Amino acid sequence: MSPATRATLASLGEVEWFRNVGVRDTQAADVPGSWGEAVDSCSSAEWEDLCLEAANQYRERLQAKSPAEFARWNDVVDEVKPAVQALVRDKTRRVVADNDLPRVFIDTVDWDILHLCMEAEFAETYPPGFYASQACWYLKGHFPCGWRGPFPNGGRLVIY
């Protein structure tokens, strides 16, 4: 695991995730009114497609920049994933129990943090992008969970 990924995980480990869910403390995003709305948003086909497309575009750009680095992708996922899953389980345990959140919530957070770490792992070859921008919301205690409107211009991020 690269020093950048270790630092990313350490930064995420130092803060309380979800401490500001539902708080309208930004003009930069829309905020749903409940966990139910946030889960509906994060499990929508549109959001799932957007997140998958962001990951695919990152991989495509990494491959174009360095086929040798891209060839390491699956091995790096295998190395990073256990640390990500342990952190996600730790950081989501209480909020899942307190709000009876479904599996799709944990899966979404797992996906986000894994891909954030993958962007960190390959940052020297290709700069981080979409998932690094998502990380700031986790650090601020929110849950990035959707997009409303045309992407990337003309729409708005949804955070809970």
Residue 94, pLDDT above cutoff 90: yes
pLDDT in tens, 59-80: 999 999 999 999 999 999 999 9
- Looking at residue 151, its pLDDT comes to 84
Residue 154, pLDDT above cutoff 90: no
Domain count of the fold of the chain: 1
Which residue type, as a one-letter code, is found at position 122?
Answer: F
Residue 153, pLDDT above cutoff 90: no
31 and 24 Cβ atoms separated by less than 8 Å: yes
Domain that holds residue 126: 3-159
Rounded to two decimals, what is the model's pTM? 0.95
